[in-house]
Amino acid sequence: MARIAVVSGAGSGIGRSIATVLAEQGWTVAVGDIGEAGGRETVEQITAAGGEAMFTRIDVTDGAALEPWFAEVAERWGGIDALVNNAGINGPIALLEDYSAEDFQHIIQVNLVSVALATRAIIPHMRRRGGGAIVNIGSTASLQGYGSLSGYTAAKHGVLGLTRTTAIEYADIPIRVNCVCPGPVDTPLMQGIYEAMSPDDPSVAREMFAQTSALKRYANAREISAVVAFLLSDAASYVTGAAIPVDGAITAGV
């Protein structure tokens, strides 16, 4: 019987790669994204390769929408085994005093509160299943500070704290909960950072971020997805409450 995974923010970038890699490994994947075109394209790629997937347009900050989405997935395929909380945004690149309260609240809502809402909504399904695994996509910003990204950094620190707490609270089911912390990955999300930091020549910011890694390069999305797939697999059955950097040694030190 195929295992069932739900992946948010799977219409592009890391989320699409995670959904695709899981499908390649035999998972059935429920793809969620606020962007309909990208989400449907992810499903088309999976089904064209022989996998099984469905798309639902979802705003992850809408807790009332998450519960019926998960219920639909569980009814269609008999249950839910895994959740990947991947949806997120950068928010403004600015000093804290230049953030509006609305901007700060929005980035916390999208990057942190949504993870809590989705986790809370998925737990009853995993309890009925007798267990499950959750991977939250954090960032190197879960582990260290970044100037001019206070909202994003605060949210991603919160994701790690939430990961550790829920891993403890639901270990008895058992539900394993881990946090993957990518460094720079060449995705549309990073492109937005380049353009905000260096609008005249985004390639300058792009090269700067590449040099922050000891490996002097970006990760590709499949390198992140491989770690996520491992954490969702039975091979990681004793791994929970962990923060796993996939960052080319950015957080190892200088």
Q: Which residues carry out catalysis? A: 152
Distance CA 43, CA 208 (A): 34
- Residue 2: name the closest of 67, 57, 50, 70 by CA: 50
